[in-house]
Amino acid sequence: MELPGIELPAALVRNASRLPGGRAWLSRWQDLVHSALAEWELTLDLPGGRRPWFGSAAVVLPVHRADGSRAVLKVTVPHDDALPEPDALRLWAGCGAVKLLEASREDYVLLLERLDGDQSLAGVPLAETAGIWGGLVKDLALAPGSGELWQDIPSVAAQAEMWTDTLPADWDRLGRPFERWLLECALEVCQVRGAVGRRSEQDVLLHSDLHYLNIRARPSPADAIVPVGPADAPAPAPSYVAIDPKPVVGDAEFAVAPMLWNRIGDLFPGDPAGHLRERCSDLAFAADLDPLLARDWSVVREVQNALSAVESGNRDDAQRSLWVASTLLRRTLPELPSPADLVSP
């Protein structure tokens, strides 16, 4: 049975088609929705032709539970990054992250608390975002355990070991698309922070894709008692939590990069390079992190992003990543566009 009026956007169809099993998912995602609606006693909440939300690899449908409470049903294209999502959400148990209500892990289907879909950290002035982000990083930083929920969460150190081999091979295969010194800086970090040099006693669980749009506000409880006060009293500050985790275990500084490759257009026009470096430090300090290590991991991640973008033919993403990586190291590559001309993700 089809869900009337719901058509997947072209970008989601394209992304799904590139993933193993994605084409099969495209033919059965509506069946997965119907199964979850029946099993968890849910009803769709799409009045007046309202559309669901779509991510780059998921459909998110607003629903009502049997008790009348609001939730969302997330149906994800199966892929490796999404496999440990329910495990991390269970570990966080709603502290700093969206609450997981039900999960069909094998089908990549989750029932989650419903957040405010219109209020994210992207709408907060840039100067006010570091404190909110830093607080979430600290809330999410759990010491690793040995239970079943930890088994499928990947390690930053293992990723660094792999990048030690793959980054130079990809750089050479793709025609050496940027200067060697930048590649060597990333490789040095991977070698030092891999299995040999890592500070495993400080490893934590972290959200490796914690950017502005993945930080959403919890709605105020409908039955909240509003305190009596002056008519012009400021409204209470929203409570923000993380969504769509890509959990890993390792240096918490690994989490900084997504906050740097987004909102470049909001950097100070007079000195965007200096402001980028200042942002990196401000984010690190807000989360009680090492600012130098935050910079180093951000360089690694941007170099890897740049190579992936070059391989997929995405020149805009490659230029943005190379600008961030080289600017953090105070050696902005001269052939790149100005920050004002970089295309937003």
User: Tens digit of pLDDT for each residue in 135-184?
Assistant: 999 999 999 998 999 999 999 999 999 999 999 999 999 999 999 999 99
- Smallest CA-to-CA distance from 91 within 145, 133, 134 is with 145
Q: What confidence tens digit (pLDDT) does each residue in 311-321 have?
A: 999 999 999 99
The arithmetic mean of pLDDT across residues 66-78, rounded, is 96
Q: What is the CATH number of domain 10-117?
A: 3.30.200.20
pLDDT given at position 227: 47
User: What type of residue is 102?
Assistant: E
CATH class for the domain made up of 119-223+237-341: alpha beta
pTM: 0.91
Split at pLDDT 50, 70, 90, the class of 119 is very high
Q: Where in the chain is the domain with CATH 3.30.200.20?
A: 10-117
Rounded to a whole number of angstroms, the distance between the first and last alpha carbons of the chain is 36
Q: Where in the chain is the domain with CATH 3.90.1200?
A: 119-223+237-341
Distance CA 95, CA 76 (A): 23
Is 40 in contact with 34 (CB distance < 8 Å)?
no
Element (H, E) at 217: strand 215-218
- Residues contacting 139, CB < 8 A, separation 6+: 92, 95, 96, 97
- Smallest CA-to-CA distance from 279 within 129, 136, 122, 123 is with 129
Whether the pLDDT of residue 12 is over 50: the answer is: yes
Distance CA 211, CA 245 (A): 10
Is 260 in contact with 284 (CB distance < 8 Å)?
no
Element (H, E) at 278: helix 272-286
For residue 108, count other CB atoms closer than 10 A to its CB.
Answer: 23
pLDDT given at position 197: 58
Q: What confidence tens digit (pLDDT) does each residue in 53-63 have?
A: 998 899 999 99
Q: What confidence tens digit (pLDDT) does each residue in 244-255 have?
A: 999 999 999 999
The tokens describing 323, both together, are 């600008």
Residue with tokens 């169809």: 13
The arithmetic mean of pLDDT across residues 79-98, rounded, is 96
Longest alpha-carbon distance in the chain: 66
